[in-house]
Amino acid sequence: MSLLIQNGRIISEHNDFVGDILCEGEIITQIAPHLETPPDAEVIDATGKYVFPGFIDPHVHIHLPFMGTHAKDTYETASQAALVGGTTTLIEMCCPNREDEPLEAFELWHSKAAQSACDYSFHMGVSRFDNLAESQLREIVKRGIASFKVFLAYKGAFGLADEELFATLSLAKELGVIVTAHCENETLITALQQRLLAEGKTGPEWHEPSRPPSVEAEGVHHLMTFAELTGCHVYCVHTSCRAALEVAQAARLRGVRAWIETVIPYLTLDKSYAEQPNFEGAKYVMSPPLRDPSEQAFLWSAIRSRLISTVATDHAPFDFAGQKEMGLHDFTKIPNGIPSIENRINLLYTHGVCRGQIDLNTFVDAASTQAAKLFGLYPRKGTIQVGSDADLVLYDPDYRGKLSASTQLMDVDYNAYEGWEIEGRPSTVVLRGQIQSRDGKFVGELGSGQFLAREPTHF
């Protein structure tokens, strides 16, 4: 059975035209202003709708043991939420702790994805570096993982010593692997947290002062020094502020191969949300923290100029009741994360495209194409071309609705954007030629997602 999409406004990272797309099997086989209808084709009239490539979220947490608890979503819930929101491919952070063996951890994370309804891959977390870890990381790369993840934070849990960081980046350079990095200075965070708690400042509103922009910028500077000395290609995840952007840009001008990600909460929320009374602010605790509203203008500008390559989520779902409440008397014990895998695209379209912050081509580039290029998926994913996977999002710009925990598919007891209005949403989402979502409802099949093996390209 083939699928013919007619009369849609086809938007890729560079193109913008009205035409037809024929999908046969799992791939796009024809694109033209007008195509004849094959006898066996299902036809969708996309008049008045955009046709985007399937969106890619390059930074999510689904299976995540963290801060004494576990993230709420499973692949069953998260993949449905992703697809309804227009995301057809996820790249999850595999985050073992220092006691875990890398290969065993990778196999555990991989097994959790068996019921995924969307396509997926992993960034392999490196939480320690020794002879055993090195040999197992080499094996993991052979199994189709082309990116590592390192933490310059969470001392004693995920964070690497500098000797380990240098060794990890050196190995990545040898193997052609790009290293994604959480950039904050863990020593400064610990000292600031201890000072604030000693002063009786225990609420969620003190999370941001414990990790100010200078702490993030110092973490980026630290990473850039190691990247410059090793020649490793690096990617700064969830970048939140101007100070960090400027450090990364200065390194790029020196020739460091560095790319920058931001996430949808930084573009749409600010630190005042974490300052809400009655512990409501705990819903908005993530790291790096939400910043002053003035930072958002710099982030949007950096997306327009392509200094920021990607807009992800850092989806990390923890219930307010029973999980966020673990930090009721100590903000350092609040599980970090703002769930947004379902809402990223609609928020980026509403607050980016509709508000004139970015154009449609930049929207596609930041939410799909750049992730595909950086992480070894392009042109299979991230674009609309003959031969690419038939991952397509038919987007209705005339839709109007509101976000709410009562209607979401994410398995978490709140929505950080409760009551927010959206202008547009996916009307049909197609994964490798199969319709997975219609009008906000999942209509696909759990377990139909594929693991995407990737080849290293960052030598």
- State the average pLDDT over residues 71-80: 97
**Rounded CA gap, 39 and 319, in Å?**
49
- State the average pLDDT over residues 241-265: 98
- State the average pLDDT over residues 331-341: 97
Residue 21 CA to chain centroid, in angstroms?
Answer: 28
**Rounded CA gap, 443 and 256, in Å?**
45
Supply the pLDDT for residue 153: 82
Residue type, 248: A
Task: Tell me whether strands 16-24 and 27-32 are parallel, antiparallel or unpaired.
Answer: antiparallel
What does the pLDDT look like over 105-129, one tens digit per residue? 999 999 999 999 999 999 999 999 9
Residue 368 CA to chain centroid, in angstroms?
Answer: 10
Supply the pLDDT for residue 157: 67
Supply the pLDDT for residue 156: 64
Give me the CATH topology for the region 54-374. TIM Barrel (3.20.20)
CA distances from 99 to 152, 297, 404 (A): 17, 41, 39
- State the average pLDDT over residues 251-266: 98
pLDDT at 333 over 90: yes
Sheet holding 178-182, edge to edge: 55-60, 87-94, 119-125, 147-151, 178-182, 234-236, 258-263, 310-312
Supply the pLDDT for residue 66: 84
- Where in the chain are the domains? 2-52+385-442, 54-374
What does the pLDDT look like over 393-425, one tens digit per residue? 999 999 999 999 999 999 999 999 999 999 999
pLDDT at 155 over 80: no
What does the pLDDT look like over 266-318, one tens digit per residue? 999 999 999 999 999 999 999 999 999 999 999 999 999 999 999 999 999 99
Q: CB-based contacts of 256: which residues, under 8 Å, 6+ apart?
A: 224, 227, 228, 234
315, 60 Cβ separation under 8 angstroms = yes
- Per DSSP, 352 falls in state I
The domain 2-52+385-442 is placed in CATH, from the list 3.30.70.600, 2.60.40.1120, 2.30.40.10, 3.40.50.720, at 2.30.40.10
167: three-class secondary structure by DSSP: helix
Supply the pLDDT for residue 68: 86
Buried b (16+ CB within 10 A) or exposed e, 374-400: bbbbbbbbbbbbeebbbbbbbbbbebe
The mean of the pLDDT values for the chain is 97
The two structure tokens encoding residue 359: 């154009």
Closest CA to 10 of 47, 56, 57: 47
What does the pLDDT look like over 343-390, one tens digit per residue? 999 999 999 999 999 999 999 999 999 999 999 999 999 999 999 999
Count the residues in the chain: 459
Instruction: Enter the pTM of the model.
Output: 0.97
Phi-psi region of 11 (alpha: psi -120 to 50; beta: other; left: phi over 0): beta
Q: Do domains 2-52+385-442 and 54-374 have the same CATH topology?
A: no
Task: Tell me whether strands 310-312 and 258-263 are parallel, antiparallel or unpaired.
Answer: parallel
Supply the pLDDT for residue 1: 81
**Rounded CA gap, 292 and 355, in Å?**
20
The two structure tokens encoding residue 352: 């980016």
